[in-house]
Amino acid sequence: MPHLEENLRYAITQEQRCLQPDELAALFPILRHPSLDGCRLDDARRRGSSVRYGLVCANPQVASGTARLDGAGERIAGILEIKMGGKNMTFSQRVEAVRQGDCLPHQRR
């Protein structure tokens, strides 16, 4: 996205969260951004150790896109590719996760 400062284009963040297997799409923090309000990953299609999703927005003119999560043992890697609707703006977000163990009772939602 051309209007971002260079240091934001490749920002790296780290966090530790407790996720259930059906919450893997929550790995992409950009989906919590207000500009993507009403958008979610849906229509999961599994193929081997990969899962593909389509980006579904309440207003289809907001954005479109796809996500892919690949698992290998205790590691998960994913990429979300988004095209903002009505604009010539595309971006992607890459994530990597390593399973640390079972969620503790106080971490469950």
pLDDT tens, position by position, 42-77 = 988 999 999 999 999 999 889 999 999 998 888 989
Give the DSSP letter of residue 8. H
Nearest to 42 by CA among 60, 25, 59, 21: 25
Q: What is the pLDDT of residues 91-107, one digit of tens each?
A: 899 999 888 888 877 65
Q: Report the predicted TM-score, pTM, of the whole model to 2 decimal places.
A: 0.78
Q: Residue 86: pLDDT band by 50, 70, 90 thresholds?
A: confident
The secondary structure element, H or E, covering residue 10 is: none
Compute the C-alpha angle 86/28/41, nearest 5°.
60
**Quick check: 1 pLDDT over 60?**
no
Long-range (24+ apart) CB contacts under 8 A made by 54-61 are 55/80, 55/82, 57/85, 59/85, 60/85, 61/85, 61/86
**Phi, psi torsion values for 103, nearest 5 degrees:** -70, 140
